[in-house]
Amino acid sequence: CADLANLLNEAAILTARRRKEAITMPEIDDAVDRVVAGMEGTPLMDGKSKRLIGYHEIGHAIVGTLIKDHDPVQKVTLIPRGQARGLTWFMPSEDQGLISRSQILARITGALGGRAAEKVIFGDAEVTTGAGNDLQQVTGMARQMVTRYGMSDLGPMSLETQQSEVFLGRDLMTRSEYSDEIASRIDDQVRTIVEHCYEHACNIMRDQRVVIDRLVDLLVEKETIDGDEFRQIVAEYTNVPEKETYVPIM
């Protein structure tokens, strides 16, 4: 497995640099970060931008923590890597072979947590471009729910070909008429799913504002909060759903 070899090679390099005799979990964790997200960048300067990024990442993490069907938080960090100025990592809660409708909705809501935090905390005028990749993922997941998995009000049918083109089928209407009608209905369903999830995320921000502020203060100070500490703090303010962490059988 090339990915595993690459990961262990990175961990070995870090172990040597830190003058350790054996690879330990901190080296494995840092190696995963490097392989998945890229090299560590220049630390963020304290100020408004760092706090805004902190709210964005805590937004992802708090939504993921409080929605039962979302994977549990592994850690939240403000250490830049690659193109990302902050990152929230989630640990799969079970084998990802089959994913339910509720799990996809949870992922969409979690992905919108960053933008929701910006909106609720700073207002519409202060939302940033930081959610660009999140919104692409959200739109893609919602569209697949509608066109590929039959998980919308349009019913249990596939509305795209293997080439991801909208399926037109054989109908008395002309191709263009059918195409426009189906495309419009698909867009409406996608919009409905995204708007529902976004409102859910915004409601969580409003309801949990006190603990969010505390977590952001801590994140700005420490730059990284691991999942266990994050959940312990959230649990002081509200009920945290229990989640199982998936451990693959080697």
Residues that are catalytic: 57
- Is 91 in contact with 65 (CB distance < 8 Å)? no
Query: Three-state DSSP class for 24?
Result: coil
Strand ordering across the sheet containing 87-90:
87-90, 73-77, 224-226
Measured distance CA(7)–CA(135) in Å, rounded: 29
Structure tokens at 59: 């937004």
Per the rule left: phi > 0, alpha: psi between -120 and 50, beta: everything else, 19 is: left
Per the rule left: phi > 0, alpha: psi between -120 and 50, beta: everything else, 116 is: alpha
Measured distance CA(68)–CA(52) in Å, rounded: 26
Contacts 24+ apart (CB under 8 A), 1-8: 3/35, 6/35, 7/31, 7/32, 7/35
Structure tokens at 239: 């009920």
CA atoms within 13 A on the CB side of 200: 20
Measured distance CA(47)–CA(180) in Å, rounded: 48
**β-sheet bridge partners, residue 76:** 88, 225
